Chain A
Amino acid sequence: MSNSEAQTEIGQDAAILECHKKFLGSKGFNPILSSLNKQSILRFESLGIPHGKHEMFTFVDTKGLIQIVSQGRRERIGTVSEDIINRNIYPGCEKSIIVIVDGFYVKSLSNIRGAGNSVHVMNIEKAVSDINLNRYLLNIAERESDVFSSINGAFFTGGIMIDIANDTNLSTPLQILHISTSPVEEPAMITPRIVLRAGNSSSASVIVKYIGTAGDYLVNSTMDVMLEDGAVLKLWQVQADSPKAWHLSKTHVQMSRMSKLGTVLAYSGCKIARSNFEVHLSGEGAELTLNGISVLCENEQAHSYIRVYHEAPGCISNQLFRNIVKGRARTSVDGTVIVREGAQLTCSEQLINNLVLSDDARADTKPNLMIYNDNVKCTHGSTAGSLDEDQIFYLRTRNFTEVSARALLTASFAKKVINSIDYPPVAEEVRDILLKKLET
């Protein structure tokens, strides 16, 4: 790192602290969140802005992101048309839709009557009056390793807590729609924060979809997910931001005894999209399925940073990533599974498959296993390649044009992950969004 570079980074550190000071004195600041905001800015100070070769950002050029982040958080909520909301509500979710605009929960645009009394949606400011929750979030903030999530923690207000009551069995999925608007002259960063608790033996599906009206916004989102004993949760994240946007997302998941999480990260990419997914399998017998799919064209980027901690005996984690890159697009999966000493009989699988459709596209992988106990079954691997010419020829001799042969093979590469979204409207839409990009 050159001297001048080091200086600008120190300057940006200071700029963020300065913004935070202002934020604490502004109307937007809510004293109820003071302990969380402050804990996070402390954490930010000790983490510091990542330098060029920071190991958490091996594949991500953070320069542009830091530039935006150091201008602080946007205060104002933009206006969105009802039309754009309606177009982005999944069939069946009309009465279980939560709308977040520029990081703020908008009750008037949301409707969760369909979920009945078993789902409570409340402002996060209210939720943290529960001392246990506050302590839980403080604890996470204190250990946060992702500096951008610490920045979210330092600045967020207006988030929500979704509480799915014990023994609830939700028949229709709950949709969270994040809409980001164009920043105009305001800072570009918005900081959505959602806390989701799935109660004992509850069963639910949650869709998180990110979209944006035109603009170079930066959505810096953090989600805390807690699965209580025996909870079964499906969590599908669909990232469909404007191509000019920046997208950062941190999901922190805590899994208790016998809970099950099936999650899919479907990324259509943007200037830089990065998802940091951290899961703690901390109760015996917990099961995680984490799948990822991205289709990236032109200069789009989408990166996944995955940390799965096996902390209790008999837990299972399965990961499958399928990425398709074209043009000058870039993708990466940096995934580590950590098996703690006491986590006997752990089963863990991780597979990353990349389909690279052009010479200038890039797909990096960094699969890793850290095992601190012998009684485990862990595998990991990754592949990268282009389409198989023998398969293309075979299809062509069976009446497929070269274009349709390539399309079929590409779609089938993506199919396994897309089909793991077991709510057809979402799977279909993901298929449409992602595969349409390959037609151009």
Chain B
Amino acid sequence: MLEIKDLSAGFQGKEIIRGISLTIKKGEVHSIMGPNGSGKTTFTRVLAGHPSFDVLGGEITFNGKNLLGMSPEERGLAGLFISYQDPVEIPGVNNAEFLRMAYNAKLLHHGREEVDPLEFDELIDSKMKILGMDQKYKERSVNDGFSGGEKKKNEVLQMTVLEPVLTVLDEIDSGLDIDAMKVVAEGVNRLMNKERGLIVITHYQRLLNYIKPDFVHILSGGRIVRSGGYELASELEAVGYDRLIINSEKKE
């Protein structure tokens, strides 16, 4: 469903993503791991269509369409959902209302009727229950004053409501306590099926014990330097990036 060919991208003339190729098929779970500053978040920004990042080369097709030619909202409506490493706070915008508007935009896009606040309440309540989120997060402003973990849960809440075709989770585990991580992983797993795809960006194997990836990719210096199966994460955990990356360079 997602095909990335030789993507390079950067910021103010500086190349950060330097030739990423990656194919994700329906039903697959991929994990991207890599040291700080290797370009993981930048990669998600480029996927989302952030205007500050320039695509310098390569192409991305998403379900047959040219993703790079689409606006951020068109990408969202086409079923791409990217959870943020640092979710943005929006004081003054009610969380439930925001999510209802996002949901209704999707319904409209698919030619369906919008839901009213009451109907939406039922939907969001059931999703919040699964994630063990308190009702009070409906009344609060979007991410405003949320703790690190609460913000991450709120991202996953959006994901479970919007039911995207392809989800990219950028360090969803950072900030979550052990119990919350299990709950969140559970929520993510529930959503996955044969028709959907998932990219999990993380530093730790722990999350991957709960969300089991079919493929693991190591990103370093804006490039995928190694790809493998789930066992690559264990290897990484054992030897660390330095040795793993040196090893993989030797292999090349």
Given contacts A393-B50, A393-B51, contact A401 B73 (CB under 8 A): yes
Report yes or no: A400 in contact with B102, Cβ–Cβ below 8 A: yes
Q: Which stretch from B90-98, B171-179, B244-252 is at the chain A interface?
A: B90-98
A358-401 vs B, Cβ < 8 Å mask (1 yes, 0 no) = 00000000000000000000000000000010110111111111
Closest to A416 in B: B92
Report yes or no: A412 in contact with B87, Cβ–Cβ below 8 A: no
Given contacts A394-B87, A408-B101, contact A400 B73 (CB under 8 A): yes
Among candidates B71, B88, B92, residue contacting A394 with C-beta atoms closer than 8 Å? B88
Given contacts A394-B84, A398-B102, contact A412 B90 (CB under 8 A): yes
Report yes or no: B72 in contact with A393, Cβ–Cβ below 8 A: yes
A413 adjacent to chain B (CB < 8 Å): yes
Given contacts A408-B101, A412-B92, A415-B92, contact A397 B87 (CB under 8 A): no
B24-68 vs A, Cβ < 8 Å mask (1 yes, 0 no) = 000000000000000000000000111100000000000000000
Closest to A401 in B: B73
Residues of the B chain whose Cβ atoms lie less than 8 Å from the Cβ of A338: none
A402 adjacent to chain B (CB < 8 Å): yes
Among candidates A393, A398, A399, A413, residue contacting B92 with C-beta atoms closer than 8 Å? A413
Number of interface residues of A (CB under 8 A): 20
A296 to B101, CA, bound (A): 27
Within 8 A of A (CB), among B116-163: 158, 162
A413 to B50, CA, bound (A): 24
A393 to B109, CA, bound (A): 19
Report yes or no: B50 in contact with A398, Cβ–Cβ below 8 A: no
Report yes or no: B71 in contact with A396, Cβ–Cβ below 8 A: yes
A409 adjacent to chain B (CB < 8 Å): yes
Residues of the B chain whose Cβ atoms lie less than 8 Å from the Cβ of A400: 73, 101-102, 105
Residues of the A chain whose Cβ atoms lie less than 8 Å from the Cβ of B162: 398-399
Report yes or no: A399 in contact with B84, Cβ–Cβ below 8 A: no
Among candidates B48, B92, B101, B109, residue contacting A397 with C-beta atoms closer than 8 Å? B48
Q: Name the interface size band of chain B.
A: 20 to 34
A394 to B101, CA, bound (A): 13
Report yes or no: B90 in contact with A391, Cβ–Cβ below 8 A: yes
A406-428 vs B, Cβ < 8 Å mask (1 yes, 0 no) = 00110011011000000000000
Report yes or no: B84 in contact with A398, Cβ–Cβ below 8 A: no
Residues of the B chain whose Cβ atoms lie less than 8 Å from the Cβ of A413: 92
Closest to B104 in A: A399
Residues of the B chain whose Cβ atoms lie less than 8 Å from the Cβ of A388: 88
Chief secondary structure at chain A's binding surface: helix
B152 to chain A, nearest CB (A): 14
Report yes or no: A397 in contact with B93, Cβ–Cβ below 8 A: no
A409 to B72, CA, bound (A): 17
B5 adjacent to chain A (CB < 8 Å): no
**Could you say which of A391, A394, A400, A413 has the most chain B C-beta atoms within 10 Å of its C-beta?**
A394
Report yes or no: A397 in contact with B90, Cβ–Cβ below 8 A: no
Report yes or no: A399 in contact with B90, Cβ–Cβ below 8 A: no
Closest to B77 in A: A399
A412 to B140, CA, bound (A): 13
A100 to B93, CA, bound (A): 39
B139 to chain A, nearest CB (A): 14
A408 to B72, CA, bound (A): 17
Report yes or no: B87 in contact with A398, Cβ–Cβ below 8 A: no
A116 to B102, CA, bound (A): 49
Residues of the A chain whose Cβ atoms lie less than 8 Å from the Cβ of B196: none
Report yes or no: B71 in contact with A399, Cβ–Cβ below 8 A: no
B107 to chain A, nearest CB (A): 10
B76 adjacent to chain A (CB < 8 Å): yes
Report yes or no: A398 in contact with B88, Cβ–Cβ below 8 A: no
Residues of the B chain whose Cβ atoms lie less than 8 Å from the Cβ of A412: 90-93
B75 adjacent to chain A (CB < 8 Å): yes
Residues of the B chain whose Cβ atoms lie less than 8 Å from the Cβ of A397: 48-49, 72-73, 75-76, 81-82
A395 to B93, CA, bound (A): 11
A394 to chain B, nearest CB (A): 4
Residues of the A chain whose Cβ atoms lie less than 8 Å from the Cβ of B51: 393
B18 adjacent to chain A (CB < 8 Å): no
Given contacts A412-B92, A413-B92, contact A398 B98 (CB under 8 A): yes
B217 adjacent to chain A (CB < 8 Å): no
Report yes or no: B93 in contact with A398, Cβ–Cβ below 8 A: no
A400 to B101, CA, bound (A): 8
A13-34 vs B, Cβ < 8 Å mask (1 yes, 0 no) = 0000000000000000000000
Closest to A405 in B: B73
Report yes or no: A396 in contact with B90, Cβ–Cβ below 8 A: no
Report yes or no: A399 in contact with B93, Cβ–Cβ below 8 A: no
Residues of the A chain whose Cβ atoms lie less than 8 Å from the Cβ of B105: 399-400, 404
B203 adjacent to chain A (CB < 8 Å): no
A395 to B99, CA, bound (A): 10
A402 to B91, CA, bound (A): 18
A11 to B174, CA, bound (A): 73
A29 to chain B, nearest CB (A): 51
Residues of the A chain whose Cβ atoms lie less than 8 Å from the Cβ of B90: 391, 394-395, 409, 412
Kindly list 19 other residue pairs between chains A and B, CB separation below 8 angstroms, not including A388-B88, A397-B48, A398-B158.
A391-B90, A393-B50, A394-B87, A394-B90, A395-B98, A396-B76, A397-B75, A397-B76, A398-B76, A398-B162, A399-B73, A399-B76, A399-B102, A400-B101, A402-B71, A404-B101, A408-B93, A408-B101, A412-B90
Interchain residue pairs A-B with the least CB separation, the first 9: A412-B92, A399-B105, A396-B72, A394-B88, A398-B102, A399-B76, A399-B102, A412-B93, A396-B73
24 contacts between A and B (CB under 8 A): A390-B88, A391-B90, A393-B51, A393-B72, A393-B88, A394-B84, A395-B98, A397-B48, A397-B49, A397-B72, A397-B75, A397-B76, A398-B102, A399-B77, A400-B73, A400-B101, A401-B73, A404-B101, A409-B93, A412-B90, A412-B92, A412-B93, A413-B92, A416-B92
Question: Residues of A with Cβ closer than 8 Å to B?
Answer: 388, 390-391, 393-402, 404, 408-409, 412-413, 415-416
